[in-house]
Structure 1
Amino acid sequence: MNEFRRHWHHSLLLALCCLLMSCIENSDQKAQQVDVNSGDKKPRIALIMKSLANDFFSSMAEGAKKHQQQQGDEYELIVNGIKDERDLSRQVALVEEMVANGVDAIVIAPADSKALVPALRRAREAGVVVVNIDNKLDQEILEAEKISIPFVGPDNQAGAKKVGDFLASKLKSGDEVVVLEGIRTSFNGTQRRLGFEAAMQDAGIKIVDSQSAQWEMSMANTLALSMLSEHRNVKAILAANDSMALGALAAVKNNNKTGEVAIVGFDNIAAVQQAIRDGQILATADQHGGELAVFGIEHALRLIEDPDAKVEDRETPVDLITAEVLK
């Protein structure tokens, strides 16, 4: 009986040792797997834009995708957009979806300078890096929400002033013009209007009407038709983006005023480049949409790599585009 007990204890001890060694081996394998995965993990960056129906934002998306493909081992990219420029609730929902999806950074061109700030604050609180491009977030709202978000983009007022100055060089003091504004709660829309106004004031040119077409071509066409009907002596239309410039162009053609009413825009989309070459639109501003998202993504990658880095804005180029430039 004692011999049986000794044999049983020996077998049990051997089984326990084997089990313990197996657990240790599995634990080591898991630890190695964690180390490998953590070393290979790529940052995930979400690009959230405004309407992808707008050529400016579709070119921005293509520029970002091309950059990611060229830097494929560096980060993963998720591209999102909204149906139209005014779909604020959907853009807020996209921010929340990307946070829930566990992205490391959000690079956003906000549809509104104020309405997106609370959602972006929540993203920051969740540990997500946020970089603002294209349309600057409202500084007072940022301060009220107690967050700092870097802006990467052009000086929209300076860009609009360049366009306005070029237009003024083709007009004379006392001429009348009208302005098609962007969304009035958008910082870039306000800045472009101010740039246009400064250029016209400097040249002694009178703005007889200024209304928001909310960045939309069809609304711009309707407003421009009304403006041309009400103000018979208008010599030019200043549009705060190229989609609205194209809407204005259709209105000018409809009124048989091609060559009589000059048009300027902002964004340098392909359709407007062709209209400039054809002499139908006078000028636009190029804020390098194909590169703008890339500038924001590169800024986000730096902040992911160094979370303690100082949060700073970065100004990007904006250039006057005329027929001479496009030759």
Structure 2
Amino acid sequence: MDRRLFLGSCVGMGSLLLPRPLRAAPGAAGAGRPKIGLVMKSLANEFFKDMQEGAVAYAGKRGDFDLLAVGIQSETDIDGQIAAVETLVARGISGLVIAPADSRALVPPVARAMRAGIKVINIDVAFDPQALARHHVDIAFVGPDNRAGARMSGEVLAHALGQGGKVAIVEGNPGAENGAQRKLGFMDAIGAGGLTLLDSRTAHWETEEANTVFSNMLTAHPDIQGVMAANDSMALGVVKAIEASGARGRIKVVSFDNIPAIRPLLKDGEVLATVDQFGSQLAAAGLDNVLKELAGQNLTGWIRTPLKLVTGRDVA
């Protein structure tokens, strides 16, 4: 395999396929303890860095399992996630927690892991129910109501612009269920607030792509007054495009995730709102639930996690 996987954390493992191999501290692994794999999306995204930190802290607090956590090179590196799952299975994990980059493409490798006796919990991005049914697997989803959260963020923009305000949506990965749900939530806010949607395009969760996408939107629609970005990484690219166009202060932005880099923009009003889905706690909840499965519980359905609207008033 020539694809390089990025190590999110290394607790109780030897080394993973990395640019520079890392090793766990001597004595970190516990004989007979379960090994749990955590597969995240891009560690270039601060949300998943926060998730990584939460997972490491939770593993250290419990001290009764060994954590193998992996991120991928980019938000769209689906093949990298599939390889990560297969690598972790080969390393003998007994449980897997995964935030899939694609809600359908990651189902087959995860289903194979389950047939090998590995317990699986889905976090952050829900698997597609039809794909699960086709592969005859039932996997509990631990995560927030992305549609409700996006509507909360969108309603802040609707209130700021008033009826008839002209807006655009910068969407997440179209293959990811949370991206689809966030767009639906933004559409709910647009409908309820009487806004006018001028354009909606994907930037696949990525900052630089969002910068390009929104620059093109502005060229096509110079009268845009507001933007709904499906995550903060893309909001950063949108803000950069707004500043480059000389429209700072004229175009209002709302977003989702509450990563550290967005908070100065909330404070100075360049971004009106975001939504915190508590990534570090989300990782811990996934690990806790996969350990419950290993202890004999049979989890199913949606295990909801909290959301919080964050505006400039919440930023110190």
TM-score (normalizing by structure 1): 0.86
Post-superposition offset of 1:310: 4.0
Is 1:53 aligned with 2:44? yes
- Tell me the amino acid that sits aligned with residue 41 of structure 1: G
Distance across 1 between alignment mates of 2:167 and 2:242: 13
Distance across 2 between alignment mates of 1:88 and 1:175: 37
RMSD across aligned positions (CA): 1.1
Post-superposition offset of 1:40: 5.5
Q: Name the SS of the counterpart of 1:169 in structure 2.
A: helix
Instruction: Note the 1:165-244 alignment, pairs <5 A.
Output: 165-244=155-234
Instruction: Note the 1:127-166 alignment, pairs <5 A.
Output: 127-166=117-156
2:272 alignment counterpart: 282
Distance across 2 between alignment mates of 1:309 and 1:220: 41
1:95 alignment counterpart: 85
Distance across 2 between alignment mates of 1:196 and 1:311: 28
Q: Name the SS of the counterpart of 2:218 in structure 1.
A: helix
State which of 42, 45, 59 in structure 1 corresponds to 2:33. 42
1:65 alignment counterpart: 56
Q: Name the SS of the counterpart of 1:283 in structure 2.
A: strand
The Cα offsets for residues 199-248 of structure 1, whole Å up to 9 and x where unpaired, read as: 01111101100000010100100011111121121111110000000000
Distance across 2 between alignment mates of 1:227 and 1:256: 15
2:289 alignment counterpart: 299
Unaligned runs of 5+ in 2: 1-29
Could you tell me whether the CA contact under 8 Å between 2:140 and 2:299 is conserved in 1?
Answer: no
Is 1:325 aligned with 2:279? no
Distance across 2 between alignment mates of 1:269 and 1:78: 24
State which of 68, 85, 101 in structure 2 corresponds to 1:111. 101
Distance across 2 between alignment mates of 1:236 and 1:318: 23
Question: Cα 1:167–1:42, aligned 2, differ >3 Å: closer, same or farther?
Answer: same
2:25 alignment counterpart: none
- Tell me the amino acid that sits aligned with residue 319 of structure 1: K
- Tell me the amino acid that sits aligned with residue 261 of structure 2: A
Comparing 295-304 and 221-230, the one that deviates more = 221-230
State which of 230, 236, 254 in structure 1 corresponds to 2:244. 254
2:10 alignment counterpart: none
Comparing 91-100 and 130-139, the one that deviates more = 91-100
The Cα offsets for residues 129-172 of structure 1, whole Å up to 9 and x where unpaired, read as: 01000000000010011000110000000000000011111111
Distance across 2 between alignment mates of 1:271 and 1:90: 26
Identity value in percent: 42
State which of 282, 298, 302 in structure 2 corresponds to 1:309. 298
Post-superposition offset of 1:71: 1.4
Distance across 1 between alignment mates of 2:300 and 2:141: 9
Could you tell me whether the CA contact under 8 Å between 2:166 and 2:198 is conserved in 1?
Answer: yes
- Tell me the amino acid that sits aligned with residue 157 of structure 2: L
Post-superposition offset of 1:312: 3.5
Post-superposition offset of 1:185: 1.1
Say which one has the larger Rg: 1
The Cα offsets for residues 266-325 of structure 1, whole Å up to 9 and x where unpaired, read as: 11000101210122111101000111110100000100001x524242000011100112
Runs of 4+ with deviation above 4 angstroms: none
Distance across 1 between alignment mates of 2:268 and 2:163: 27
Post-superposition offset of 1:105: 0.5
